[in-house]
Amino acid sequence: MIAELVTFTHVPGTTRTEVMEGAMAVVPRWQADPDLIRKHFLVSEDNRHGAGFYIWPNREAARAAHNAEWIAEKERQTGASVTITYYDLVVMLDNQTGTVTRFD
């Protein structure tokens, strides 16, 4: 299992409402990705910085979703670079379901 953190900077003056509308506009795209397990849309308190936190079955799926075309479009939209960091997902705790999942 892979966790992927994608970070970027919003256009100056972006409001929380605009962040929410932007997130909701791309939800169908992410729902249609059969490899995506989970995605969290994140925004800083001042709405300046955004992030996506994704859970994927493997790095190949993550890279396919965030390919050069996707990165170029995000950078065009925001005028800033995108940073992508991958992590091996070792343990996932879910307090809502009361589960702990190990990925040995």
pLDDT reported for residue 39: 98
CATH number of residue 82's parent domain: 3.30.70.100
pLDDT reported for residue 38: 96
Q: How many domains does the chain have?
A: 1
CB atoms within 10 A of CB 42: 14
Question: What range does the domain containing 90 cover?
Answer: 2-102
Q: Could you tell me if residue 34 is left (phi over 0), alpha (psi between -120 and 50 degrees) or otherwise beta?
A: alpha
Residue 90: C-alpha distances to residues 34, 67, 93, 101 (Å): 22, 25, 10, 8
pTM of the model: 0.92
pLDDT reported for residue 6: 98
pLDDT reported for residue 15: 95
Please, what are the averages of pLDDT over each run of 10 residues along the chain (104 residues)?
97 94 96 97 96 97 97 92 97 96 94
